[in-house]
């Protein structure tokens, strides 16, 4: 128990500490693993000499639940956890989820909706003047005015509603240490307006900053919000980003400083080499353990940041577009430690990050001048300056495979197929097929309509088709029969029923129905969510078709899984509305089997179905060596 950070005052006192420097309040259960933001920030503070107490999943209905350690010497740190609490609680159809993987036994309901706001106000009820710093994914992506899907409204900065003094946004290692040092020197938190990667509240507009449209203006005119979002998007870069100020009338301004600079490799190693227990606190053993640990216990984070630029992803706003990596030595050290675990079976489940095969910045200038504000590295075409090179990743994977007692090293966090295609050396794809895939490779083309893909910030469909062909070649070269399992998304801004039908036809031609289909989920601070709310593409200021009607969204989703009998009526309705009744009938191309038919036609259809099933069974047996 003494190897975990204290969760009770008695444990704190056993360390000879009567008052902690910080108290960390979190919506997740306490898991001391570097895949959890809570673990990184608390271990980093401990490393630099600060004492920290953990209050995980306090009872938000009782204000004494945040008083476990009394008043901290320097301040409270508050996070909703690894997920936005609303995404954690609700499906895209706004139905309650049944399980919470970040809670003991997967039990739902141990954190409140909008957890950062609730925890912040709970603390402020008792500790009127104690500094409160909020952070993590929920606070980061709600740091300025944002569209809230669950209330279908534009909400103001979470800083104002939480009662907090500062937001430490993004990956907060740099900013949290600067805040801690300033508070330790006796500086008042109300004066900390200079720290990169933070958001603060002030009465006066900052000198030299960009004044965004006011909250009142954005509520009155959605186009103003689209304009504001584009300015934010262009200033989320540490090297060139400007100070942004958002007016709230007589409440003053919420001011965002530019992001913190990315960590060097030495700093990344320091963060991941801290003495994590790499598991959940023992107090959860009898409560059913913490399900989330199963996915990441034997996985290794090798990088952070992503220059992929998908518009429906918030990574650019949180981790940034500059890729940061750990050294081979740091990663190998972690892998060797895994082999000493009693439950390690020889399989490293993943070596990656947001995108597994990004092991260096997109181009050499990024670490000196930052990323381009007006263009993407991979979209719509790979930039001519892109350094598409897998050499370092290949060397790392080879070293991991050679560690004694390691049987297999998987890559499960996803690769960018367009980045793979941009690499002129085919060796990565061949080694991927030979060593790092177990029958199925999961990739995310998302759609097949180039128009929809352009709204997503994804490459044209032909790039994915080329990747499939190259992966097949790599499999033949290695003598393996492996398959690509694609992820598709329905109802993204710009996607019409005709686009959805086109995707359904592609699924038909693939020969199998995707098991996982994701409806577009409008989460805070993504380009796609801005489109969804405003009906405008912030990049071009042009109008975008938005499928917001729940029934249409259900039809788009059903089309991708048209073989499911439960989807039959929805698919039929969608085909009629899209003017594609040619796909209803008894021809082989038809998605819905229906209409006037002869006895012979029915027999022919049943016969062809049986033949296809037999062929599939033979192929399965052949793959299994039967």
Residue 234 three-state SS: helix
Identify the sign of the CA torsion 544, 549, 550, 551: negative
> What H or E segment, with its residue span, contains residue 445?
strand 440-446
Length of the chain: 626
Q: What is the four-CA torsion angle of 265, 269, 271, 277, rounded to 10 degrees?
A: 160
What is d(CA 12, CA 622) in angstroms, rounded to the nearest whole number?
61
Angle subtended at Cα 624 by Cα 618 and Cα 626, rounded to the nearest 5 degrees: 65
The tokens describing 608, both together, are 């062809």
User: Could you give the CA distance from residue 412 to residue 437 in angstroms, rounded to a whole number?
Assistant: 9
What angle separates helix 265-272 from helix 328-339, to the nearest 10 degrees? 20
Q: Are 143 and 170 in contact (CB under 8 A)?
A: no
Q: Which two tokens stand for residue 552?
A: 């249409």
Q: Rounded distance, CA 172 to CA 133, Å?
A: 11
CA atoms in the 13 A half-sphere facing the CB of 593:
13
C-alpha torsion sign, points 292, 439, 434, 518: negative
In terms of Cβ atoms closer than 10 Å to its own Cβ (0-12, 13-18, 19+), residue 619 is: exposed
- Is 306 within any annotated ligand binding site? yes
Residue pair 194/260 in contact by the 8 Å Cβ criterion: no
Q: In the numeric block, which tokens belong to residue 307?
A: 């220059």
DSSP string, 598-611: -HHHHHHHHHHHHH
What CA–CA distance (Å, rounded) separates 70 from 8?
11
Strand, coil or helix: 188: coil
185 CB neighbour count, 10 Å cutoff: 7
Asked if 74 and 22 count as a contact pair (C-beta separation under 8 A), the reply is yes
Determine the Cα–Cα distance for residues 12 and 39; give it in Å rounded to an integer. 17
β-strand partners of 316: none
Would you say 377 is a known binding-site residue?
Answer: no
- The reply to whether 313 sits in an annotated binding site is yes
Residues in CB range of 59: below 8 A, 6 or more apart: 65
Strands 253-256 and 198-202: antiparallel
E strand or H helix that includes residue 613? helix 599-623
DSSP-derived 3-state class of residue 243: coil
Q: Annotated binding site for [4Fe-4S] cluster: which residue ranges?
A: 306, 310, 313
Q: Annotated binding site: which residue ranges?
A: 306, 310, 313
């Amino acid at each position: 128990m003494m190897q975990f950070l204290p969760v009770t005052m008695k444990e704190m006192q056993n360390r000879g500490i009567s008052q902690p420097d910080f108290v960390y309040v979190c919506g997740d259960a306490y898991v001391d693993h570097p895949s959890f933001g809570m673990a990184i920030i608390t271990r980093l503070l401990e490393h630099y000499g600060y004492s920290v107490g953990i209050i995980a999943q306090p009872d938000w209905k009782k204000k004494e639940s945040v008083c476990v350690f009394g008043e901290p010497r320097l301040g409270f740190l508050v996070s909703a956890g690894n997920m936005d609490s609303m995404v954690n609680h609700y499906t895209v159809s706004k139905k309650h989820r049944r399980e919470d993987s970040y809670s003991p036994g997967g039990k739902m309901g141990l954190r409140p909706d909008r957890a950062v706001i609730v925890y912040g106000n709970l603390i402020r009820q008792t500790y009127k003047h104690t500094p409160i710093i909020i952070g993590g994914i929920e606070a980061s992506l709600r740091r300025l005015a944002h569209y809230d899907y669950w209330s279908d409204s534009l909400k103001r900065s979470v800083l104002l509603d939480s009662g907090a003094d500062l937001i430490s946004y993004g990956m907060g290692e740099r900013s949290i240490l600067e805040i801690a040092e300033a508070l330790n020197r006796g500086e008042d938190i109300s004066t900390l307006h200079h720290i990169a990667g933070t958001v603060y509240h002030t009465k006066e507009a900052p000198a030299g900053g960009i004044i965004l449209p006011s909250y009142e203006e954005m509520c009155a005119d959605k186009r103003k919000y689209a304009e504001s979002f584009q300015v934010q998007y262009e200033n989320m870069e540490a090297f060139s980003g400007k100070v942004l100020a958002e007016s709230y009338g007589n409440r003053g301004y919420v001011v965002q400083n530019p992001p913190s600079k990315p960590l060097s490799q030495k700093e990344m190693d320091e963060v991941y080499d801290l003495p994590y227990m790499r598991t959940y606190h023992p107090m959860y053993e009898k409560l059913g353990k913490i399900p989330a640990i199963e996915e990441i216990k034997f996985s290794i984070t090798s990088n952070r940041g992503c220059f992929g630029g998908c518009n429906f992803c918030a990574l650019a706003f949180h981790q940034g577009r500059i890729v940061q990596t750990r050294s081979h030595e740091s990663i190998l050290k972690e892998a060797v430690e895994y082999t000493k675990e009693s439950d390690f079976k020889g399989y490293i489940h993943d070596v990656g990050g947001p995108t597994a095969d990004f092991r260096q910045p997109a181009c050499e200038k990024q670490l000196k001048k930052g990323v381009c504000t007006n263009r993407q590295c991979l979209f719509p075409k790979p930039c001519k300056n892109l350094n598409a090179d897998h050499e370092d990743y290949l060397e790392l994977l080879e070293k991991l495979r050679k560690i004694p007692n390691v049987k297999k090293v998987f890559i499960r966090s996803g690769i960018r197929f367009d980045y793979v295609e941009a690499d002129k050396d085919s060796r990565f794809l061949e080694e991927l097929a030979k060593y790092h895939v177990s029958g199925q490779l999961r990739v995310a083309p998302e759609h097949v309509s180039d128009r929809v893909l352009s709204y997503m910030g994804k490459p044209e469909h032909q790039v994915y088709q080329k990747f499939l062909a190259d992966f097949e070649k790599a499999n033949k070269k290695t003598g393996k029969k492996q398959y690509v399992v694609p992820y598709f998304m329905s109802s993204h801004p710009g996607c019409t029923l005709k686009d959805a039908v086109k995707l359904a036809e592609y699924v038909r031609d693939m020969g199998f129905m995707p098991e996982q289909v994701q409806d577009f989920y409008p989460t805070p601070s993504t380009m796609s969510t801005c489109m969804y709310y405003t009906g405008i593409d912030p990049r071009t200021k042009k109008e975008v078709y938005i499928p917001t009607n729940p029934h249409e969204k259900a039809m788009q989703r059903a089309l991708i899984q048209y073989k499911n009998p439960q989807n039959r009526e929805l698919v039929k309705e969608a085909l009629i509305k899209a003017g594609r009744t040619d796909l209803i009938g008894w021809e082989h191309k038809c998605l819905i089997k229906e209409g006037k038919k002869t006895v012979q036609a029915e027999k022919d259809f049943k016969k062809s179905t049986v033949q296809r099933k037999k062929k599939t069974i033979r192929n399965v047996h052949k793959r299994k060596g039967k």
